[in-house]
Structure 1
Amino acid sequence: MALLVTCDSGGDRIPESLREPLAHAGWRNTFAGVDAVISSPASRLSLPLVDRDAHFASRIIAEHAGCELIANPFRADLVDVGRSVHHRNLFAPAIRKLPAKIRKSILSEIRTPYRDAVRRRVSGMLLEFPYVVHLSIRTFAARSASGQWQRGDVGLLYDPGRADELDWCLDLSDELYFAMPDLRVRRNHPGRGTNDSLTKAMRKHFYDVHYLGVEVVLNRAWAARPVRRRREVLRVLANAIREVTPEATPQAA
């Protein structure tokens, strides 16, 4: 199966080489309080520092879809590896206040290796298969910044101008409707697939080949619940992904 799952935001580590420079620069390591934040009901409404639920979901999806997973092991509050280097939300406010030398080190230690690893894996898969479906897994806050409830359980973010991505997302929406009618699947919500992201960057890099990049974003209203039902929903989602991504025949050498 020419399918790759990635997770940008589920890591909980700090690179060893950055610990001392960050401490000397006055960056406060808030990780000690993350567990309490994650376990509280309010964490289902907003995004935590460490999106462990995205990491959990990506593991379950990759396992049951039978594909490879590349996950960023480092904390997303150091740098959002899915953003371009000029995006205003590349760094969290606390990191933006640090010296430029430290910010450059964060990029070279975290962002660059992760994106290079994804790019190399997609390149390798395209040498073997005629197409690759790349799914980037994230969660989104149950409430918007204005306090409104976010509608939908699963969002599929894609470029509507790319017919292959549109068709794949339509097929997955139909498959999920028949498999789990109560699951609310929305396309290009709560964001747009053409917004700044890792999949957008990969589309630009692999513009002349059959690369499909889709962000699968999960509403934290249910994604953060430590119950069996969450695992069951993720299994259904993974099985549907497998059904609409037929086995690709390896290309002749």
Structure 2
Amino acid sequence: MLITCEHGGNTIPVRYAPLFHGTQKLLKSHRGHDIGALNLARYLARHLRAPLHYSTVSRLLVDLNRSPHHRQLFSSQTRVLDPASRTAVLARYYSPYRGAVEKRIVQMIARGRSVVHVSAHSFTPVFDSKTRMADIGLLYDPARRGERLFCTRFQDALSDFAPTLRVRRNYPYKGTADGFTTYLRKIFSGTHYAGIELEVNQRFFLDAKPAWGGIRLNILRALTTIFG
């Protein structure tokens, strides 16, 4: 297993801080980072003894989970940068991160291992005035048999450990939408690679420590069951 967290923090490098003057509230919100995602990723990596790649640079500088051509690669704050400056951001923060993850997968496959890549994310409970009707979302490509079977087992295991959790597949986003796992599927076959985005409702992290501890533990138990 490989664990990553593309939206692990809301740090803005000093060089680009003037672009974000007066945006502290924005940076602290779900738009600035995936609240609780890095905490979850570190917890899972530690207990599963899995390699972890993460970034704490805000997605509002550059979104590591978007393709280079995607219109949301840069935020409204950074789209004002000239082409050379945007290229510099990609060279410093985007390409090294994605390249390191891709290299890790190549190394794992070279050792004869099939790679299950769990990308830790979180989603805001309410978006566009609509309440999201899930506690956990499992995003994957239904056309990839390995991903489909893995998510079925994951969902079943979560149901066994926590029957009241609302676990949905390809919600609140489609697993085939633009993202890092979508790119990696183009590089690695379904025989060698399964890319799963694990989305957790931020309300568990924001509401109370017992609730967050419980959902982390149940996710860990479910994954341990699958890999045990």
TM-score (norm 2): 0.92
Deviation at 1:199, TM superposition (A): 0.6
Larger Rg: 1
Matched residue, 1:107:
90
Aligned partner of 1:83 in structure 2 is 66
Q: Tell whether 2:89 aligns with 1:97.
A: no
Q: Tell me, which stretches of 5 or more residues in structure 2 are unaligned?
A: none
Match 1:225 to one of 204, 207, 227: 207
How far, CA to CA, are the matches of 2:12 and 2:130 in structure 1? 33
Tell me the residue number matched to 1:13.
Answer: 11
Structure 2 distance, partners of 1:106, 1:83, is 14
Task: Give how far 1:229 is off.
Answer: 2.4
Secondary structure of residue in 1 paired with 2:148: helix
Aligned counterparts, 1:127-206, within 5 A: 127-145=110-128, 147-206=129-188
- Quick one: distance in 2 between partners of 1:181 and 1:215? 21
**2:115 counterpart of 1:123:** no
Which residue identity does 1:117 align to in structure 2?
A: A
Q: Which residue of 2 aligns with 1:238?
A: 220
SS for the counterpart of 1:214 is: strand
1:72 is matched with which residue? 55
Tell me by how many angstroms 1:208 deviates: 6.3
| Matching residue's letter, 1:28 | F
The higher-RCO structure (CA 8 Å, 6+ apart) is 1
**What SS does the corresponding residue of 1:49 show, helix, strand or coil?**
coil
Indicate the SS of the match to 2:39.
Answer: helix
The two structures, once aligned, show a CA RMSD in angstroms of 2.0
Give the paired residue count. 228
The equivalent residue for 2:38 is: 55
Give the 3-state SS of the residue equivalent to 2:19 in structure 1.
Answer: coil
Q: Secondary structure at the match of 1:107?
A: helix
Kindly state the Cα deviation for residue 232 of structure 1 after the two structures are TM-superposed.
2.3
Contact (CA 8 Å) 2:125, 2:201: kept in 1 or not? yes
> Could you tell me how far apart the structure 2 residues matched to 1:14 and 1:144 are?
24
CA–CA distance in structure 1, aligned partners of residues 3 and 41 of structure 2: 7
| Counterpart Cα distance in 1 of 2:190 and 2:210 | 42
Q: Which residue identity does 1:220 align to in structure 2? A: Q
What is the CA distance between 1:129 and its match in structure 2?
Answer: 3.3
Runs of 4 or more off by more than 6 Å in structure 1?
none
Moved more, 222-231 or 128-137: 222-231
Aligned to 1:251: none
Q: Distance in 1 between matches of 2:91 and 2:123?
A: 27
Q: Is the 8 A contact 1:10 1:55 kept in 2?
A: yes
- Structure 1: 5+ residue runs without aligned partners? 247-253
